[in-house]
Each structure stands twice: as C-alpha cells, then as structure tokens.
C-alpha cells in the first residue's frame, strides 16, 4: 500500500495533493512528533492537574455568561457552589 511518494523534506506537504492524502500525511507527522515528545512525570502531572483544575474552575466558578448559563442547573444540583 506504499505509494510512490518519494518527496521528502520540509516542502513535501507544499505539493498539491488531492485532499485526503495530505491530511493523512499531516496526521502521521503529528503522531511522530507526539511519540518523540518525552516529558518527565513532574511535567505530566503538572499538565494533568492544570487541565483538571481549569476544567473544574470553568464548570463550577466561571462567570463567563455562556459557560455559567450552560452549567447553571448542574451547579445548583450539586448544592455545593452558590451562585446567587
């Protein structure tokens, strides 16, 4: 299933391909970048806790109208965080 795409280098994706193969190549490039990414447990845990903290803050304490109104009923059903 290997096509004859012998173009390699930084300008390989600049060549006009018909839609899906370019997208597939870009996805494979991102998979390679992710596999090469090597971060320590400390940084992983920091990223994880920051993500969880931001999510909980957005759901429970955000005053942005769109987010606040969307989670309004959920927040009242929790009966933990008063909002009015």
Q: Which residues bind Zn ion (CB under 5 A)?
A: 83-84
Nearer to Zn ion, 30 or 72 (CB): 72
Nearer to Zn ion, 25 or 68 (CB): 68
Longest Cα–Cα distance of the chain, Å, equals: 64
Q: Which two tokens stand for residue 34?
A: 């992710």
Using DSSP's 3-state secondary structure scheme, residue 4 falls into coil
Q: Which two tokens stand for residue 16?
A: 């006009």
What whole-number distance in Å separates Cα of residue 51 and Cα of residue 27? 24
Q: How far is the CB of 57 from Zn ion (least distance, A)?
A: 17
Q: Are 61 and 81 in contact (CB under 8 A)?
A: yes
Q: Which residue is nearest to Zn ion (CB)?
A: 83
Nearer to Zn ion, 3 or 84 (CB): 84
Q: How far is the CB of 52 from Zn ion (least distance, A)?
A: 23
Q: How far is the CB of 55 from Zn ion (least distance, A)?
A: 19
């Amino acid at each position: 299933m290997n096509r004859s795409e012998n173009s390699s280098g930084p300008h390989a994706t600049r060549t006009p391909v018909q839609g899906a193969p370019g997208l597939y190549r870009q996805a494979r490039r991102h998979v390679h970048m992710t596999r090469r990414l090597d971060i320590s447990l400390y940084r992983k845990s920091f990223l994880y806790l920051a993500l969880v903290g931001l999510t909980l803050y957005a759901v429970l304490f955000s005053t942005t109208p769109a987010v606040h109104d969307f989670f309004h009923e959920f927040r009242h059903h929790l009966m933990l965080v008063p909002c009015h």
